[in-house]
Amino acid sequence: MTDIPNFLAHFYTQFPNLKEMPPWEITQDITSLISMKILELNPDDYTVTGGIAIHKTAVIEKGVILKEPLIISENCFVASHAYLRGGVFLGKGTRIGPGCEIKSSIIGDHSATAHFNFIGDSLIGDHVNFEAGALIANHYNERSDKTIWIQINGIRTNTGVIKFGALVGDHSKIGANAVLSPGTILQRKSVVKRLELLEQNN
């Protein structure tokens, strides 16, 4: 039901060992997954310091906070005061704008955040664009039962976790100041309007 390539066409090209894992289990185990992925990288292409691997073509502006484990792929750009933590993978040509926080997430090739975005515990496809201030919430702070459910084609599934953001399909567009609630599933080429609140699991 949540076959990742239906949403992220090239996901298994980057992560062939994750074929048996649903998205929410990947984000739960992402620190060890990224740490193992670093061991597979070509040391001629990346500068590796501890658990942080940065491709030699990537541009990292001043004031960025990077916490391991982390992979920043070729031709990425990370703007000033961005904060990447909790296990992050940035695909080729990804752009992270100023003041963005990315936590425990995989972001596909040529995707972009504008500025002041939060993406937590999520899998993001290729060529996805987040306008300024768009957020992916990863936790139900307001609920007594914080367990996250997902819904695809009207079928609800209990993930069994209390932290999971979204699965955002390739070529999706997320408008300024939109909020994706925990457990959001977006098909490829989805468009979320500015200021829209998505709640798929009320």
pLDDT, one tens digit per residue, over 5-60 is: 999 999 999 999 999 899 999 999 999 999 999 999 999 999 999 999 999 999 99
Q: Is residue 54 part of a domain?
A: yes
DSSP state of 107: E
Give the per-residue pLDDT at 153: 85
Task: Identify the domain containing residue 62 by its residue range.
Answer: 21-131+159-190
Please tell me the number of Cα atoms within 13 Å of 138 on its side-chain side: 19
Q: What is the mean pLDDT of residues 112-121?
A: 98
Q: Does residue 35 fall inside a structural domain?
A: yes
Residue 71 lies in a domain: yes
Residues 6+ apart with CB under 8 A from 79: 61, 64, 95, 96, 97, 98, 99, 100, 115
Q: What is the rounded average pLDDT of the residues 142-148? A: 95
What is the pLDDT, as a whole number, of residue 188?
Answer: 98
Query: Catalytic one among 10, 115, 139, 171?
Result: 115
Taking the alpha carbons of 186, 72, 102, 67 in that order, is the dihedral positive or negative? positive
* Residues of the chain above pLDDT 70, percent: 99
The number of distinct structural domains making up the chain is: 1
Is there a domain that residue 2 lies in? no
Query: Is 152's pLDDT higher than 90?
Result: no
What is the pTM for the complete model shown?
0.97
Q: Which of 132, 79, 84, 81 is nearest to 104 (CA)?
A: 84
Residue 48 in domain: yes
Residue 177, domain member (yes or no):
yes
Instruction: Give yes or no for residue 1 having a pLDDT over 70.
Output: no
Question: What is the pLDDT, as a whole number, of residue 123?
Answer: 98
What are the structure tokens assigned to 11, written together? 């996901």
Residue 16 covered by a domain: no
Active site residue 127: no
- The CATH number assigned to the domain holding 174 equals 2.160.10.10
Q: Is residue 100 part of a domain?
A: yes
pLDDT for the residue numbered 201: 81
